Amino acid sequence: MKKADVLLVGVLLIAAAALYLAAPRRPAARVAVYHGGNLVWTCPAAEEGECTVSGVRVVVSGGEAYVAQSPCPDGCCMAAGRISAQGRSIVCLPMEVSVVLEGPGQLDAVVY
């Protein structure tokens, strides 16, 4: 891994931990998929949908999100199972993909 990769992974982990700690156990409003720190796909959590990023197939179904398929060597993102609570996330480090369940109270930007 390059130094930038390590940094990126660290940032992703901290962001995921912060989201996890900040969020009460409420159903998520939307599923957001990030690749390398960039938002690449979203889907309302109540709808059905799927996307493939870097070979990682993310499925949203029945208010839950999970990784159905991934080319990563350890497969722990697939082993993470299904997530449904706001603030939960699945991170695939080798593919730099993260799946985050975001709630209605989380804003992309705050303007004063």
92 touches Zn ion (CB under 5 A)? yes
Cβ 67 to Zn ion shortest distance, Å:
7
Q: Which residues contact 111 (CB under 8 A, 6 or more apart)?
A: none
Let me know if 79 is exposed, middle or buried by CB neighbors in 10 A (0-12, 13-18, 19+). exposed
Region near Zn ion per CB under 5 A, out of 2-10, 18-26, 70-78, 83-91:
70-78
User: From the CB of 46, what's the least distance to Zn ion, in Å?
Assistant: 26
Alpha-carbon span 90 to 57, nearest angstrom: 12
| Site for Zn ion contains 77 (CB under 5 A) | yes
What is the C-alpha end-to-end distance of the chain, expressed in Å?
39
String of contacts with Zn ion for each residue 21-40, x by CB under 5 A: --------------------
Q: How far is the CB of 70 from Zn ion (least distance, A)?
A: 4
